[in-house]
Chain A
Amino acid sequence: MTDPLTSYGQSRKARIDALAATSVAESGTVEEAPGLSLIASAWQRLRRNPVFLLGAFITVAFVLLALVAPWVAPHDPAVGYLLDKVRPQSNPVPGPEPGFPLGADSRGRDLLSRLIVGARQTLIVGVFATLGGFLGGLVLGTLAGAFGGWVDSLVMRIVDVMLSIPSLLLAVSISALATRPSQWTVILAIAIVQIPVFARLLRGSMLSQRSSDHVLAARALGIKQSAIVFRHMLPNALGPVIVQATLVLAVAIIDAAALSFLGLGNPDDRKPEWGQMLGQSQQYLADYPHLAFWPAACIIVVALGFTLMGESTREALDPKSRR
């Protein structure tokens, strides 16, 4: 071991590399039992795995809700319908009443509608943060994995240092620098933290593929480097990337909540996001815990859904686990 910040990064690295290795297995260089490719056999196992099914059910329900949110929400989440009833002392948080089954928040806005619309915003934060991390990782990982040599060393040094810092602390630091906090600064902070994860994953899978048969064959046929990378190597790396992405999505949603809790979240709450709702409910915890409970429950269930799905898929794809 040469890197002094090693081990923590090392374990994260090892985890990522193990996942990366599955992309080669998929591309068919590993001898297979006849009839079933790795993905298909993984699917065979997943179909019957209650853990995976639970995760998939939650995830699908969440995504559907996020898609139809604006049409399902009974009220506009930004309008204080019950603002007239808000009195800082006697009634800071209006309770449930007809048309407002969960009551309102401290600004008289319908809590249920905010939760429903929040699903969409939460998905946006999760998806864009993951996408950002993926694109950043794609650039770095492709550079490193496809070209090797000093480019590889340089990029991977940076990546390893980033991996050795606990991700939440890094995200906090980044968002503290934002001059105008918004949903996008939150997304950016979380995305940057995930870049090294994806970079390492993509590089690992590229490296293991560089020596694999179909890439060697393509090279022997004189196909251009870029074409090999984009047509042959990238598509094969997708499996592990998608698995990692589901896991990152859950982390992104939780980290967004932590940032809000630390006061570094998006201050504009007209389009609420669950983490933001949870962060903002801090001062009402004592007397109105339901303001925190609902968004927290939503976050937990959804994060659990993505994690269950991701982890069980990872395990299913892991050649070691097939027995």
Chain B
Amino acid sequence: MPKEVCGPVLRYIIRRLLQMSGVIVVLSLLLFLWLRSLPGGTVSAILGERATPESRARLEKALGLDEPIYLQYFRFVGRALRGEFGASTGVLPGRDAFDIFLTRFPATIELSFLAILIAVVVAIPLGYVAARSRGGWLDNASVVASLIGVAVPVFFLAFLLKYFFAIKWGLLPVSGRQESLGCTRVTGFFVLDGLLTREFDCSWSALRHLILPAFALASIPFAVVFRITRAAVLDVLDEDYVRTAEAKGLTKQVIRGRHVLRNAMLPVVTTIGLQVGALLAGAVLTEKVFAFGGIGEALAIAFQMRDYSVLQVLILMAATVFVVVNLLVDISYAVIDPRVRTR
């Protein structure tokens, strides 16, 4: 990027980051109030049947849950500013909630990344081909297929995949992230760790565990990426510059790559970034079906156990990730679209 454009872009990023932190603060307040207004609570989750009013009061006092909510919130903010998010009470009691996020997050990234990858690898070529044969049987069939992806509840698709590939045919593992091979942990990304440490059986096992959940989860971005690609390619094919390119006698490959896809990819790139939110929601369902130890599963357990610290951290971090990814998408948009970049 030329020097003169760096200034505005940097300023833009800083402004976005400031706004972002504002949103996170507001969100943290809303989240705090929401969690505290949920029926039930940490204490019930810890004590179960044996909760007596005394043990309840004792625990509430010890946890500071008997204080007024505004006081609890200030304490929470104070701690959060010091980087302390509190200890978990349900998911992994005693562990710092942020550590739990750090332990669990790589799993979700691995899963989401592979899901996006699958979706992109299949959806973009399919979207292109469908657009080129607009109205033909291939187009209609792939449109219907992509909409089936929308119509099938993701947890049911997850179950179907598991039922056939894992249980019935025994091709892939049923659940979890890896067999207990005693693998070395470096980054928390199991596939990567295995490659780094050359424990290739670990990578292989992790990959096999990833396939089914990733395909299930891929159904969410797949439909969207396909439709956007198809629509974008249709739009671009109609553009004059494509006709110009044809008039120049350029080869099909150059026209497809430089003139059609490069332009059509602009909305597609944005869309892929935007799928992060939907992916997180889908991950909760998918990880539940595959007992895949990511933040989706942790979120479900934390919710069930009313583990406030963990819920707060997970949701705030999810929101942060979401916002950061959006920012990255906007920046990448600026990078790939000269009209934005050199404005």
- Name the A residues within 8 Å of B234 (CB-CB): 321
- The verdict on A169 contacting B281 (CB below 8 Å), with A5-B23, A176-B38, A304-B148 known, is yes
Tell me if B278 and A166 are in contact (CB < 8 A).
yes
- Name the B residues within 8 Å of A321 (CB-CB): 234
Tell me if A292 and B159 are in contact (CB < 8 A).
yes
Tell me if A296 and B153 are in contact (CB < 8 A).
yes
Interface size class of A (residues with CB under 8 A): 35 or more
Taking CB atoms and an 8 Å cut-off, the chain A residues in 234-251 that contact chain B are 250
Tell me if A11 and B274 are in contact (CB < 8 A).
yes
Q: Is residue A116 within 8 Å, beta carbon to beta carbon, of the partner chain?
A: no
Q: Is residue B280 within 8 Å, beta carbon to beta carbon, of the partner chain?
A: yes
Q: Choose one: A4, A177, A257; the contact of B19 (CB below 8 Å).
A: A4
Q: Which one, B73-81, B93-101, B120-128, B323-331, is touching chain A? A: B323-331
Q: Choose one: B235, B285, B322, B326; the contact of A320 (CB below 8 Å).
A: B235
Q: Is residue A33 within 8 Å, beta carbon to beta carbon, of the partner chain?
A: no
Chain B proximity of A45: nearest CB distance (Å): 10
The CA-CA distance from A8 to B98 in the complex, in Å, is 26
Q: Is residue B44 within 8 Å, beta carbon to beta carbon, of the partner chain?
A: no
- Name the A residues within 8 Å of B20 (CB-CB): 4
Q: Which one, B53-61, B139-147, B253-261, is touching chain A? A: B139-147
Q: Is residue A153 within 8 Å, beta carbon to beta carbon, of the partner chain?
A: no
Tell me if A300 and B270 are in contact (CB < 8 A).
no
The CA-CA distance from A307 to B322 in the complex, in Å, is 27
The CA-CA distance from A262 to B296 in the complex, in Å, is 12
The CA-CA distance from A247 to B37 in the complex, in Å, is 33
Tell me if A7 and B155 are in contact (CB < 8 A).
no
- Name the A residues within 8 Å of B37 (CB-CB): 177
Taking CB atoms and an 8 Å cut-off, the chain A residues in 242-292 that contact chain B are 250, 254, 257-258, 261-262, 278, 285, 289, 292
- Name the B residues within 8 Å of A188 (CB-CB): none
The CA-CA distance from A22 to B284 in the complex, in Å, is 36
- Name the B residues within 8 Å of A176 (CB-CB): 38, 303
The CA-CA distance from A300 to B219 in the complex, in Å, is 14
Q: Choose one: A8, A168, A278; the contact of B156 (CB below 8 Å).
A: A278
* A-contact bits for B250-285, CB 8 A (1 contact / 0 none): 000000000000000000001101101110111011
7 nearest A-B residue pairs (beta carbon): A4-B19, A303-B151, A304-B151, A166-B277, A166-B281, A7-B326, A168-B281
* 6 pairs of residues in contact across A and B, judged by CB atoms under 8 Å: A4-B20, A7-B329, A173-B34, A261-B153, A300-B151, A300-B156
